Amino acid sequence: MTSALPRPRTLSLAWTHYERSPMPAFIAFPSPLGNITLQSEGEFITGCDIGRESWQPESLNSPRAATKPPPPFLVDAAKQILDYLDGDRVSFDLHVEVSGTAFQHAVWRTLASIPFGATMSYGEIAVAVGVPRAGRAVGAAVAVNPVPLLVPCHRVLGTRRDPVGYDRGAGLDTKLWLLRHESIAFQVTKPRVPSPETVR
């Protein structure tokens, strides 16, 4: 299957403060990780939520949002994510725009540079962004990444290759699913290590 994978492409990331449009668009779809909801504003993806079935953006409650179909690029983004989760894609060809501090942007840029199947530690990211002693601050920035999967915070491990600090979807179970999916070696102290099939 590896030979059939598309060539890696660069995720287009705009690290600026943006003016929110009055009517953002959404698409929600089932996946092996649970429901995934993408949010877009203009032509950019601005949010990704994994697995919280009770999560409903307020804009979805309006009659206009309920009847308006998602734009084609958002449908394509959903397909790319499902292709990745099915093992048919190793990177994304999408436009993402997120708002945050300069430090958060630096951390998220570094996350976005970690390729499929590779990892970095919090300390390595701190060095990469030029603040070697800022491991905890890096962890805080990783935790508020608004577009998980697209900016792969699941590829960050502790110094002992332990999969710590993940609260997306089903938490640690979701992170372990993604690590196994990418054949990433890790060590975990929990007595039970779930297989990808156990995360639904």
Enzyme catalytic residues: 153
Q: Where are the alpha helices (DSSP H) in 24-71?
A: 63-67
Length of the chain: 200
Distance CA 100, CA 77 (A): 22
CB 63 within 8 Å of CB 33:
no
CB 85 within 8 Å of CB 102:
no
What are 15's strand-pairing partners?
98
Q: What is residue 2's three-state secondary structure?
A: helix
Distance CA 115, CA 36 (A): 22
CB 80 within 8 Å of CB 72:
no
Residue whose token pair is 């590829």: 155
Cβ-based neighbours of 180, under 8 Å, separated by 6 or more: 195, 196
